[in-house]
Structure 1
Amino acid sequence: MRSRGVLAIFAVLTFAPPAAPAGAQLAGQTIAIAVAGPLTGGAAPFGVEQRQAVELAVDEQNAAGGILGAKVALVSGDDRADAGEGKALAQRFCDDARVLGVVGHVNSGVSVEASTVYKGCGLGMLTAMSSSPSVTERGLDNVFRLTNRDDHKGPAIAGYLVRKMRKKRAVVVDDQTPYGRGLADLFAQAFVRVEGEVASRTRVSVGQMDFSPTVASLPKDFDVLFFAGIAEAAPLLRELRAAGRRQLFACGDGCWDAKGFIARAEGATTQGEGVLVLSAAPAVGRVPGSAEFAARYRARYGPIANYAVNAYDAARLILRAVETAARRTGGLPARREVTAALRTTTFQGIAYSRPVAWDPKGDNTAAVIFLNVVEGDHFNEIAEMSREDLAK
């Protein structure tokens, strides 16, 4: 009997299938991350480029073996830059058990509404672009922001206009969205703090086509127009120049889009005193790895127009968090475990020269602000400001 038992044990050891190697502990499984943003409408250039950059990150991950042997699927959706659509899309992602993290949204108002849905189902949300302070000011531990905040951006461009460019009298225009209204308020407050004067405040509407009444209503004695919005910037600038107004046109990062702003402005960006545009990512090539990414992106989708680099880093951060959580748990991680791993992640990406790390609110301590002018068909960086610079 004893010899028969030994033989049985030998047979089990000999013919049992080999254990999966440590690097392939999720072999044969499929996990997913999601990406959400506007794929139609005026803000679509930002959402489309974001989706393309995330898609490239996922494809590269799969080409390298996936995550511990698991294939990564990408689930995407169009929130149409609408808060209601964003909440519905967030619920769809929540209902898909494969989804372990979300890159998005683009518009701040949409991110705010969608993030509460994600909180309810344990999904972490990492926005590459939403900049309203309210995104990370609500105590949600599942929300992260790669870009800078408007309460940093508004003071940055206001201070530069007054101290460096000697602008003293501003007209402030916003598009009535949470992003536009919030950035305009923060800019106006900062402009006054640095001893500038706000000559007037006015608003336009998303989707507005005729800007002649808006331009006609502006005072004559101002030296800079600051616009806080996205798609309406180019036609507003065209109308301003057509009316013979030569004043500097300054804009938040909603204008940092070569296709959506420079091309649509049809030469107006280099007329009069030109433009000053804020961005929350450096020019491609400044950070190691960004030029190589841009070449791969260009080969598949064409030239980068706005925040592809940020979106690519956001996707890689989510993917890194999934892998970290899987290694910690020894198997497929729960959403809350992925979010916990993301919160403790320090990551050297290609969008910023310093490693990404999160402050207690979920904001990126490495985020930097850049100011750009337009030369021909492209932006040219002229200034850079960090958190430390803003504190001075």
Structure 2
Amino acid sequence: MKSTALSLSVLAALALGSASAQTTVKIATLSPLSGGQSDLGTQIRNGAQLAVNEYKAQFQKLGMNLQLVAYDDQADPATGTAQARKIAADRSILAVVGTLNSGVAIPSSQALVSSRVAMVSPANTANNVTDRALSNMNRIVARDDAQGPAGANFLTDNLKAKRVYLLNDKTAYGEGLTKEVEKALKAKSVQVVGNEGTEEKSDFSSIIAKIRLQRPDAIYFGGIYNQIGVFIKQLREAGITTPVMGGDGMDSSELATIAGRGATNIYFTTVAAPIDALPAAKTFAANFQKTFKDQAQGFAAFGYDAAKVVLQGILAAHKANGNKVPSRTQVESAIRKGTFTGLLSGNVSFNSVGDRRSATLYVMNVQGGKYQLSARLPVRPARQ
């Protein structure tokens, strides 16, 4: 009995020693987990969680206990910035996957830059996200100055629009995207018959009255699905069947749910590929469904890819640091300078300001509530 007790105590001590040798290493997600945009924000978090689940054993072998911590930015710049400061204060967090909204990414990345906390965005498109050339801000999606012209070309080449009514949601994202569309339309001598920003969420009757008066061939709305879905519902109820187009902020299954029977003749460009457009995503989609009892959407796949960039960056920094837990600065540098493989959307590397060197835009259309892929458009940032 004494021998057995001694053996058990030795095993317990060894187990305790092994546990204490593990250093907790965290990555964070920063996205809306509550409010009207929580559908996309939750997809990003859950996609990142799947990546962490896959890498956990590899990190453990290297003496690192890998964890993901999720922060809710509520799609609000002030809330996101406050959460970024909390992230900076937790020294075990080495990098961030996020955000969904460009208007949140800009101040949040600024709040994190002095702490050298790298961000890899699965969604931000506003030019100024990376044009500030912050050392910590990166994205794996195309920019507005690629997405805007792509939308304008679709309006003119596919929808044959000669008169377009422009709307935006008065955010950095919506205003920036619509400005790029306007610029491209005017270069093609298309008449912009209306151009206004609105924060309205429930009653679009006055805007619809203007649209009825102007009789545009198409409407472009730079904004997010929860606002645009209501607009489309009311537009169709008013008997206006004019095509509505927008950007990746419309890329949610909730758009058709909100628009209801009006969910037809809708088009949008998106930086996050639909799952069935990614040949490597079949296993990912099955794992997502099994783990979260929910269907994976494009931003889940890109949340997963952004997290894999972060995790591969940490592993590269760990190796370069003599197989020791790396600093935030080392991780930041490894992410900016690395080449990342095995991603659903293809290999990733960044230019000097954090833009993906080669990205793809997708054009989707919604007819009768059903989403269909219309086109793939390879794009590159101006600066390589």
The TM-score normalised by the length of structure 2 is 0.90
Q: Does 1:324 pair with 2:316?
A: yes
Q: How many residues align?
A: 363
Q: Is 1:198–2:189 an aligned residue pair?
A: no
Cross-structure match for 2:3: none
* Paired position in structure 1 for 2:277: 286
Q: Deviation per CA, 1:331-357: give whole Å up to 9, x if none.
A: 01000000111112212344424x111
Partner Cα distance (2:239, 2:119) in 1: 45
Between the aligned partners of 1:316 and 1:210, the Cα distance in structure 2 is: 41
Tell me which residue corresponds to 1:10.
Answer: none
Counting aligned pairs with the same residue, the percent is: 29
- Equivalent residue for 1:6? none
SS class of match (1:339)? helix
Instruction: State the match for 1:382 in structure 2.
Output: 374
Q: 8 Å contact 2:193–2:214 — kept in the other structure?
A: no
Q: 2:334 aligns with which of 329, 337, 341?
A: 341
1:253 aligns with 2:240: no
Match for residue 8 of structure 1?
none
Give the Cα–Cα distance (whole angstroms) in 2 for the partners of residues 109 and 124 of structure 1. Answer: 17
Choose 37-46 or 170-179, whichever is displaced more.
Answer: 37-46
Once the 2 structures are TM-superposed, how far is the Cα of residue 64 of structure 1 from its aligned partner?
A: 4.8
- CA deviation digits over 1:181-229, x for unaligned, max 9? 11111111111112211110122216x2111122112233211000110
Whether 2:182 is the aligned partner of 1:188: answer yes
- One-letter identity of the residue aligned with 2:65: K
Asked if 2 retains the 8 angstrom alpha-carbon contact of 1:238 and 1:268, the reply is yes
More off after superposition, 133-142 vs 209-218: 209-218
C-alpha distance in 2, partners of 1:117/1:31? 21
Q: Do the aligned partners of 2:51 and 2:307 also contact (CA within 8 Å) in 1? A: yes
Q: TM-score, normalised by structure 1?
A: 0.88
Q: Answer yes or no: is 1:362 the counterpart of 2:354.
A: yes
**1:150 partnered with 2:144:** yes
Structure number with higher relative contact order (C-alpha < 8 Å, ≥ 6 residues apart): 2
Which of 224, 237, 242 lines up with 1:242 in the alignment? 237
User: Where does residue 4 of structure 2 map in the other structure?
Assistant: none
* Residue correspondence of structure 1 range 1-150 to structure 2 within 5 A: 28-64=22-58, 66=60, 68-150=62-144
Deviates more, 1:149-158 or 1:343-352: 343-352
Give the whole-Å Cα distance in 1 for the aligned partners of 2:380 and 2:24.
Answer: 43
The CA distance in 1 between the partners of 2:52 and 2:381, in whole Å, is: 35
Letter in 2 for 1:310: F
Distance 2:260 2:278 in 1: 30
* CA RMSD in angstroms, aligned pairs only: 2.2
Q: Shift of residue 153 of structure 1?
A: 0.4
Q: Deviations over 1:220-266 (max 9, x none)?
A: 3211000110121101001111111111111111101012x111111
Tell me the SS of whatever aligns to 2:95: strand
Distance 1:197 1:185 in 2: 14
Match of residue 277 from structure 1: 268
Give a deviation string over 1:110-145, Cα, whole Å, max 9, x none. 100011111110110111111100000012111101
User: Alignment partner for residue 227 of structure 2, among 220, 224, 232?
Assistant: 232
Q: Is the 8 A contact 2:274 2:297 kept in 1?
A: no
Greater mean deviation of Cα atoms: 330-339 or 288-297: 288-297
Quick one: structure 1 residues 242 and 338, their matched pair in 2 at CA, closer, same or farther if it must change by over 3 Å? same
Contact 1:352 1:366 in 2 (8 A): no
Question: How far apart are the structure 2 equivalents of 1:74 and 1:203?
Answer: 37
Could you give the per-residue CA deviations for residues 36-69 of structure 1, whole angstroms, max 9, x where no partner exists?
0111122211111111111121122224554623
Structure 1: 5+ residue runs without aligned partners? Answer: 1-17, 19-23
Q: Which has the larger radius of gyration?
A: 1
Q: Is the 8 A contact 2:266 2:367 kept in 1?
A: no
Aligned AA for 2:268? V
Contact 2:27 2:68 in 1 (8 A): yes
Distance 1:121 1:169, change over 3 A: same
> C-alpha deviations, 1:350-373, integer Å up to 9, x for none?
4424x1111121111221111011
For 2:341 and 2:269, how far apart are their aligned partners in 1? Answer: 23
Counterpart-to-counterpart distance in 2, 1:105 and 1:122: 17
Amino acid at match of 1:245: I
Counterpart contact for 2:358–2:380, Cα < 8 Å:
no
Q: Deviations over 1:51-100 (max 9, x none)?
A: 11111211222245546231111121111111111111111000001000
CA change 1:225–1:53 in 2 (3 A) is: same
CA distance in 1 between counterparts of 2:221 and 2:106 reads 22
Structure 1 counterpart of 2:210: 217
Report the CA distance shift for 1:228/1:351 in structure 2 as closer, same or farther (over 3 A).
farther
Partner of 1:295: 286
Taking the aligned partners of 1:153 and 1:54, their CA distance within structure 2 comes to 24
Change (3 A) 1:368 1:326: same
**Partners of 2:60 and 2:308 in 1: how far apart?**
12
